[in-house]
Chains A and B, each alone.
Chain A
Amino acid sequence: QSVLTQPPSVSGAPGQWVTISCTGSSSNIGADYAVHWYQRLPGTAPRLLIYGDYNRPSGVTDRFSGSRSGTSASLAITGLQAEDEADYYCQSFDNNLRHWVFGGGTKLTVL
């Protein structure tokens, strides 16, 4: 079981908006450690999507945005496109383990 909890799957129709949650605890997100998000397209390596809670690396579309509140963080994807179909992972630092942890991953299906 992952330290950070994500829903196993979410889905939405093209053009719609979806959010993916990442729930942690007082030893990671709740301790104010930043959350980073990765996208893993089928058969490819993960790609950094959001860093430092809400920052986008160069080349990432502004359809992706990040936010956080308390012990949770969220990734929002607007204007869903077929190419967004992928697995999404959150990552943070855990103060009890003293190393980085990932969420279990969320599979996004574009209907």
Chain B
Amino acid sequence: QVQLQQSGPGLVKASQTLSVTCAISGDSVSSKSAGWNWVRQSPSRGLEWLGRTFYRSKWHNEYAVSVRGRISINPDTSKNQFSLQMTSVTPGDTAIYYCARGVGSTPSDYNMDVWGKGTTVTVS
């Protein structure tokens, strides 16, 4: 059974960097069939896909247009986890941040079948 365990600070000051980590059990961050995603939930934006990292002979990252340039998602194979870093945060980045496993061989099929419990991040 795949489980995702999130950790990270709940409070970040404006203009600083948000950092959240997602530890994987029951699967591998280096899986050649899964992708590892970050999604956030806020009252104003609903659910918003932020980006993903995945391994297909080499590492790839893809990011949403809305946060591109501020976001970095990095795998850590030694700890079987992946992390989200978002720079220059504003109160508008206040949200619940979820990590999720993505499965599906095409962009159309791709869905998120396992989710972490979420980390509430407040930017003050």
Contact = CB atoms under 8 A, between A and B. Distances in A.
Contacts, number: 66
B10 interface: no
A9 to B, nearest CB: 13
Interface stretch (B26-34, B73-81, B83-91, B114-122): B114-122
A54 interface: no
Interface residues of A, number: 26
Contacts of A38: 47, 112
B47 A46 contact: yes
B69 interface: no
B64 interface: yes
A34 B112 CA distance: 13
Nearest to A51: B111
A105 B65 CA distance: 20
Interface of B: 39, 41, 45-49, 62-65, 98, 100, 104, 107-113, 115-118
